[in-house]
Amino acid sequence: VTALVWVNGRRQRRTERGVSPLDRGFTLGDGVFETLRLYAGAAFRLEAHLRRLARGASVLGLEVPASLGPDIARAVAAATREGVGDAALRVTLTRGIGAPGLAPPAVAHPTLVVAIHSLDAPTPWPERAITARIVSVRRNEHSPLSSCKTLAFTDSVVALAEARAAGAEDAILLDAAGHVSEGSASNVFVVSDDTLVTPPESCGILPGITRAAVLDVAASRGIAIEVRALEPEELLLAREVFLTSTLREITPVVRVDGTRIASGEPGPVTAACAEGFARLRG
């Protein structure tokens, strides 16, 4: 894996240096991030990622440095020059160095890290199918932070560990009210009758960029769409279930809690969405 890293606009040739051990991103999870994809050197839906980052930053009361856009452009250009093709680009923005305790410094000096990781060739689509488990960890739909990509991801880490310990490959989390929320790092879709259904933001989800792209694809192909709360039982009874995320694109789920979804094979609506998404990203 190739990793190219910039901290506050400076290229880090040795990634063990660069961010302070007193940085509030590290000590408190006080920051936001975005993961986006470079397909053949071009960032997919960069504007949408920047908007989501800005929204999360404003919820935390963090200012987005004006250098963000140029920093990303410079990193992408360098990655292209250095022959990095398909890659993940991560932007991490923190409140910077802090004193002990929670009170933020009067004047924050944010830390901005841009890191690009080359990615191996993706698993061909049908072989991506996974099993999932509905775990005990819940998303809190009442928290303004559920819809932000903050650095505090330990709920997801523990959720994934719970799913893995039970023999499943990924976790599906419910919200506090017991509705389906999302995957550990993905959004959830089901096909019920002939309708594509995905939970709304009021169910504690991170509004995914891939989710939005899939909704665009479905709309353009005349697939019926409902954005509504889903009962966990609806997952088990669905014709198709799939997850969406920047890193894993469209991932079919063929078992939930040990129950086979329909025939246990990725279904036609999932295939249509994956095909449409592949065209969209070029």
Q: Which is nearer to ligand PDD, 97 or 185 (CB)?
A: 185
Please identify, using beta-carbon distances, which residue of 10 and 228 lies nearer to ligand PDD. Answer: 228
Q: Which two tokens stand for residue 250?
A: 């469209």
Instruction: Please report how close the Cβ of residue 99 comes to ligand PDD at its closest, in angstroms.
Output: 30
Closer to ligand PDD by CB, 82 or 201: give it. Answer: 201
Binding range to ligand PDD, per CB under 6 A, among 127-135, 205-213, 222-230, 258-266: 205-213
What residues between 245 and 264 interact with ligand PDD by CB under 6 A? 245-247
Q: Which stretch binds ligand PDD (CB under 6 A): 12-20, 93-101, 183-191, 260-268?
A: 183-191
CB of 107 to ligand PDD, least distance (A): 30
Cβ neighbours around 73 below 10 Å, total: 13
192 φ/ψ angles, rounded to the nearest 5 degrees: -125, 125
Buried b (16+ CB within 10 A) or exposed e, 114-139: bbbbbbeeeeebeebbbbbbbbebbb
- By CB under 6 A, name the one of 131, 186, 198, 251 that touches ligand PDD: 186
260: which 2 tokens?
A: 């086979």
Interface stretch with ligand PDD, choices 5-13, 15-23, 91-99, 179-187 (CB under 6 A): 179-187
CA distance 175 to 183: 11
149 is catalytic: yes
Among 24, 49, 128, 149, the active-site one is: 149
**According to the binding rule CB under 6 A, does residue 35 interact with ligand PDD?**
yes
The single residue among 129, 209, 218, 223 that binds ligand PDD, judged by CB under 6 A, is 209
Listing DSSP states for 170-193 in one string gives: EEEEEETTS-EEEETTBEEEEEET
What is the helix, strand, coil percentage profile of the chain, to 5? Answer: 30, 30, 40
**Does residue 18 sit in helix, strand or coil?**
coil
Task: Measure the N-to-C terminal CA separation of the chain; round to a whole number of Å.
Answer: 23
Pairing of strands 130-139, 111-118: unpaired
* Segment contacting ligand PDD by CB under 6 A, of 127-135, 191-199, 201-209, 227-235: 201-209
Of 36 and 97, the one with the shorter C-beta distance to ligand PDD is 36
Contact 64, 28 (CB under 8 A): no
Among residues 97 and 203, whose Cβ is nearest to ligand PDD? 203
Q: Which stretches of the chain bind ligand PDD, using CB under 6 A?
A: 35, 156, 182, 185-187, 206, 208-211, 244-247
Active site residues: 149
